[in-house]
Structure 1
């Protein structure tokens, strides 16, 4: 065999080995999703707003991908435990993460406890929904309007307390923004932390705490049953679900507008083909009539932002939350 033939044989042999090594990788990417369950980790307890929207999305994603998609609740530490779990997960498209705006806010408050970067350690897939909050009080509180509650709090702030399902949650920051705009000293108004909306609402109904801002999904049934009194809602306009309840803006807080928003992520370094497939499936799910109808009935609007736009939105919302935290002087003791 000549030197030329040996070189050619060596060249083609190396090319064959490279081809064989690359084939499984290409096949794995092209075959996603394989016959394997896709798990969406929700870092909050079942029954709350985040869980409700996540399960609605999981149902539609399962239909779009023709694949089993399940929700795994991993609550604790205002969502930090479940979030850190996904940050360390394999970026293979089978472990996803669903959360609300607390994803951007909690790390600003729990700086010493956060073991992940909310931007660098995740691949945003898309924003899927947003919703206003119901500002409600226990019926025994002698306030039927935001103005009346403001006066009560100014007269005797330590007598009344607010509930929150998590420090850094939309409800927590909404209350902080309200207190700042109302000229209240937020540090003198007790804010009680609960592990989820369900126990917070239970104590609010029982009178152990007195007021709360919370998504429609968990608070509306309590308002409709008369167990809570809605004094306002935080959107720019009134919701058709509570047409007789004014917005906080209408109550005289002209700059007040607050929404919780919800999105889905994967661990960082998700392969581009898998991201593209997930982003497309998420968009189709969010824009489907069943999803929009279901969310509207729960007090949410189906709103899709793609991966790039969602990432920009997270950055801008993080800056907004930092400004609220700084102005209110919120610290975690």
Structure 2
């Protein structure tokens, strides 16, 4: 969505763990709370990270799924955990907008958590129903403008990258859409495949299987470059929206009062694991581009991301649910 607050570092630039810091030690158990159901993109990325931390650093990482309430159930479990760095939240961009999309948010994600590391980015894929008479972005925009306000877009979750990416697409494409809310990607995708909704813009890794099976029509992806997972699908930029750039992202947070030296130590081992996941191609296989930043770079990235996201929600007339 945004240029990283700091440069995306190479593996060689990943800082070593500060000398004298005994955390985390080999054999120690870390709990990685995923606030979504098992099997999704966030869960898959979390489990790859946990396994890599085991291999590289001898840590035992237990991934726990605590879905519900737009990710806030899992978030609350981490916010209220002992601030010793042993319980961490692995979530997506959705986490940082909790107090803007929920009418009664249980916390402020910017002030009630300690950012540890942003670990990856992933493009979104725009698909349309097989009944839609359009196969390119230009044709989609023409069709949507011909039915201004009647063209329907599925929204899997309020404030999620799919929601914000769709709002940005409507803004830059100068079209008015009718948004249809769903509880997750799968029911939204099912309705698009069935021709009940015109389009869906969501995680590429989640939509690609049905697109390759011909159940929905792939139109374009949101990243600046084409994806090696589907090089035949063009980007939105090369399809006519020259300024469009938006990607989902994943990160790790600790409870707010976690000592800074423990946050720094966690950041170092996570960055080292992410570098290896990038080098081995494990992240690429699930459509994730590795990112390595310091905690402060991650904090600044979040602040800029929230400003842009809130403006998109405001301009669309969104009201917290």
Provide the secondary structure at the position in 2 that maps to 1:123. Answer: strand
Q: Does 1:106 align with 2:113?
A: no
- Kindly indicate whether residue 287 of structure 2 is the aligned counterpart of residue 296 of structure 1: no
1:140-155 aligned at under 5 Å gives the runs 140-155=131-146
Q: 1:86 corresponds to which residue?
A: 78
Q: Matched residues in 1 for 2:295 and 2:23: separation?
A: 22
Q: Which residue of 2 aligns with 1:136?
A: 127
Paired residue for 1:238? 226
**In 2, distance between residues paired with 1:137 and 1:237?**
21
Contact kept, 8 Å, 1:106 with 1:169, in 2: the verdict is no
| Per-residue deviation, 1:31 | 6.2
Q: 1:286 and 1:32, CA in 2 relative to 1: closer, same or farther beyond 3 A?
A: closer
Alpha-carbon deviation of 1:277?
A: 2.3
How far residue 289 of structure 1 moved from its aligned partner, in angstroms, is: 4.7
When Rg is computed on C-alpha atoms for both structures, the one with the higher figure is 1
Matched residue of 2:38: which SS?
coil
1:46 equivalent in structure 2: 38
Structure 1 unaligned residues grouped into runs of 5+:
1-28
Q: 1:47 to 1:164 in 2, by over 3 A?
A: farther
Distance in 1 of aligned mates of 2:33 and 2:91:
9
Compute the displacement of 1:256 (Å).
Answer: 1.0
Distance 1:127 1:205 in 2: 33
Deviation for aligned residue 1:158: 5.6
Which residue of 2 is the match for residue 67 of structure 1?
Answer: 59
Equivalent residue pairs, number: 301
The structural deviation recorded for 1:32 is: 4.4
Of 298, 312, 319, the residue aligned with 2:300 is 312
Query: What is the CA-CA distance between 1:190 and the residue it aligns to?
Result: 2.4
Does 1:176 pair with 2:167? yes
Cα distance in 2 between the residues matched to 1:66 and 1:205 = 44
Q: Comparing both structures, which one devotes a greater share of its residues to helix?
A: 1
Shift of the alpha carbon at 1:184?
A: 2.2
Is 1:190–2:182 an aligned residue pair? no
Q: d(CA) in 1 for partners of 2:137 and 2:43?
A: 29
Which residue, out of 214, 219, 224, partners 1:226? Answer: 214
Q: 1:264 aligns with which of 225, 238, 252?
A: 252
Aligned equivalents of 2:155, 2:36: Cα separation in 1: 13
Q: With structure 1 as the length reference, what TM-score do the two structures score?
A: 0.84
* TM-score of the superposed pair, with normalisation by structure 2: 0.87
Kept after mapping to 1: 8 A contact 2:153/2:198? yes
CA–CA distance in structure 2, aligned partners of residues 31 and 211 of structure 1? 47
SS of match in other structure, 2:181: strand
**Per-residue displacement from partner, 1:219-243 (whole Å, max 9, x unpaired)?**
1222222222110111112222222
Q: Specify every segment of 5 or more residues in structure 2 that has no aligned partner in the other structure, as ranges.
A: 1-20
1-structure distance, mates of 2:270, 2:135: 41
CA distance in structure 2 between the partners assigned to 1:237 and 1:31 by the alignment: 38
Please identify, of 159-168 and 220-229, the stretch whose mean Cα deviation from structure 2 is larger.
Answer: 159-168
Please give the per-residue CA displacement for 1:78-99, whole angstroms capped at 9, x wherever unaligned.
2122212211111122211011
2:85, 2:226 → 1: CA distance? 38
Q: Which residue of structure 2 aligns with residue 203 of structure 1?
A: 191
Instruction: State the distance in 1 between where 2:227 and 2:113 align.
Output: 33
1:276 paired to 2:267: no
**Residues 130, 261 of structure 1: 8 Å contact kept:** yes
